[in-house]
Structure 1
């Protein structure tokens, strides 16, 4: 695949600063109600319609938001010149068709993860958005989580030192989906890792287990390798007795544990590690252990989805690159596709397609 350079700033049309973005939410299933609530609450948006074909879901929406129309026909929404943006919360296999139609119609698009189910479709969406001069943003909501942002801050300030590796576990007695656990859960971890490391993933190896339906793994184990040599081991599962969202970053100076279920102490920084001393003669290397303080940094409370929508609106108005930008979404899809291929090849490592030079947001 040809390497291309992606811009760090998007030349999108200016929107009147005081005018709310006239927005339509597409899909009112699992995540749609959360999006609808935030769009209604945020002053940057005006929810002008819900696009939903399912009558029961449409009635459920109308009971909570009377007066806002429900439209079953996407073309009717796209033909409306007063609609500025679409927020898409439909199954992943529908993302390419819906988003491409919206982009071709000149609408800004925020689409829930993953951006698409394969690299070619994701790249097509990125190219279409660039050609039409509109914003395409994948909904990697965890990038707006205060704990994830705090770890990124620690990395930027060189508190952790060189990052050696990451271990991650994302498990629950989860919501079964026909796309499989990698498509469902891996985008969360991959987007966080790409945001933290700021370098491309070059290789993925994955093993999985399909229990209830052949070809639909409920559990997967991925080893992700970055261009700089660091690795991450990621465990994903719908078959777990309790909810686990935990990541541990091991650096040369410090280690940090991120536990999304731990409330105010979601982040703990450990001043611990091992140090080698090079011998001055032919003696053995000397190993010493360091065990210092454990710090739980203060985190400002915030709803990640609200921050994500705020970023979406801000970038439409200013042309800036969002934190969860389209090219990060493209990299996530490329890594996810490599993981799926590795699964089919019995865990054999698969090189990740080169999709372009990274964006500096």
Structure 2
């Protein structure tokens, strides 16, 4: 059986730097990239050329763009040899493109966030569930933190009870985004037409990580949002207190508005989860393989209370787990498996909507409690 035909819609940084290498790691026997689309011919051609090189394709993927009505997005979606698309387009643009692709009977993997806001996300999910899911079409959201082996490993440790009952947690993400940043220079990020700016674009990752590690769902929060760097509107910082259904609670600090690079590099970015019998910390950095070559990895340190035969505390034990960063590859693998009727549950649009709801609640709270469950009620 020949592999499914695939098209990438969007030719930005993440399509080139993340999705192409992930496709290469899966191999051309798993999926065949047949076409690429971008709003401009130049960017579409650049992606096609890079794809041919990275994927070692004998034939250049077909190029589609908005400048030619005979080779536009509708023309791409009309092709019967393309069964699935990866949507890597600006946040505000994605819902309409997802609808268009589903209407053309294509399976869809769309980059996070699932939608610019909760209301539009709910509408899109309801439409998919009523019109396209019954037809067997697969729509998944590409949230790579959800499938990262590091976060999955940490979640297993917590659920196995190695740190006891979870009591509290902390997530800190401090980023410095200068005007010279390649991410800032992306036009749709420079003047965002959606809530939260970088907070929505990047903040959902952290919430997804908490979602897969904590044993109980997040149910309410209270916090404040602000803009601290004028070039990062409408907001660049959120600080919130959050409560889980089981009564545990935590603090989440998200900012892309650090004034200097050192504020970010020395912030101690991490997630920690504390339980009645220990705690766990998760950080991201570099590790080395057996050959001494560096790779990106998550480092999970599990510290467990050590007790004597009478239950008295006599110290603690430490376990270190390192997992290679490979979320984009795994989310693609999961998507292809779902198309083949082997669904592992990852990438569920409603789960991704909960991440958007958290960011939206943080932006709108202004110190008042927000019920996260009610916010996403369908």
Deviations 1:16-53 (A, max 9, x none): xx331211111111211121332244232111111111
The alpha-carbon distance between structure 1 residues 290 and 226, as it changes in their structure 2 partners (threshold 3 A), is: farther
Q: Does 1:153 align with 2:156?
A: yes
| Cα offset, 1:289, TM superposition | 6.2
Instruction: Tell me whether 1:96 sits opposite 2:114 in the alignment.
Output: no
Q: Using the TM superposition, give the Cα deviation of residue 197 of structure 1 relative to its aligned residue in structure 2, in angstroms.
A: 2.6
Instruction: Give yes or no for the alignment of 1:348 onto 2:347.
Output: no
User: Is structure 2 residue 176 aligned with structure 1 residue 183?
Assistant: no
Q: How does 1:25-40 map to 2 (within 5 A)?
A: 25-33=8-16, 34-40=18-24
Which residue is equivalent to 1:13? none
SS of the aligned residue for 1:271 comes to strand
Establish whether residue 165 from structure 1 lines up as the match of residue 172 from structure 2. no
Correspondence for 2:349: 326
User: Residue 290 of structure 1: CA displacement?
Assistant: 5.8
What residue number does 1:56 align with? 42
Matched, 1:220 2:238: yes
Q: Which residue of 2 aligns with 1:44?
A: 30
C-alpha offsets along residues 122-144 of structure 1, whole Å, 9 cap, x if unaligned?
A: 12222233231222211110122
Equivalent of 1:304 in 327, 330, 338: 327
Matches within 5 A, 1:64-143: 64-66=50-52, 67-72=60-65, 73-130=72-129, 131-133=131-133, 134-143=137-146
Q: Distance in 2 between matches of 1:232 and 1:54?
A: 44
Provide structure 2 residue ranges, at least 5 long, that are not aligned to the other structure: 53-59, 66-71, 178-182, 288-296
Could you say what the CA RMSD is over the residues aligned between the two structures, in angstroms?
2.7
Deviation at 1:120, TM superposition (A): 2.2
Give TM-score, length-normalised by structure 1: 0.81
Deviations 1:37-78 (A, max 9, x none): 322442321111111112332232233235111211222222
Deviations 1:246-291 (A, max 9, x none): 10010112200000125367111112499xx9xxxxxxxxxx8663
Cα shift readout 1:304-346 (whole Å, capped 9, x = no counterpart): 211111111111112424323222112222222222221xxx3
Using the size of structure 2 for normalisation, the TM-score is 0.78
SS of the residue corresponding to residue 92 of structure 1 reads coil
* Correspondence for 1:206: 223
Matched, 1:260 2:278: no
Structure 1 runs of 4+ aligned residues shifted over 4 Å read none
Q: Choose between structure 1 and 2 for higher RCO, CA contacts under 8 A separated by at least 6 residues.
A: 1
Q: What is the DSSP-based 3-state SS (H/G/I as helix, E as strand, rest coil) of the residue aligned with 2:324?
A: coil
Deviations along 1:182-224, whole A, 9 cap, x unmatched? 2022201111112123543221223222130585222221222
Residues 160-169 or 34-43, more deviating: 34-43
- Change in 2 beyond 3 A, CA 1:322/1:222: same
1:231 is displaced (CA, Å) by: 1.9
Query: Which residue of the other structure, out of 337, 340, 347, is the alignment partner of 2:360?
Result: 337
Conserved 8 A contact 2:170-2:272: yes
302 and 218 in structure 1: CA distance in 2 versus 1, 3 angstrom threshold: closer
Distance 2:324 2:11 in 1: 27
Cα distance change on mapping 1:261 and 1:239 into 2, 3 Å = farther
- Whether the 8 Å CA contact 1:259–1:266 is kept in 2: the answer is yes
| Contact 2:158/2:215, CA 8 A, preserved across alignment | no
Number of residue pairs aligned between Structure 1 and Structure 2 = 325
Deviation at 1:356, TM superposition (A): 5.6
Q: Please state if 1:271 is matched with 2:304.
A: yes
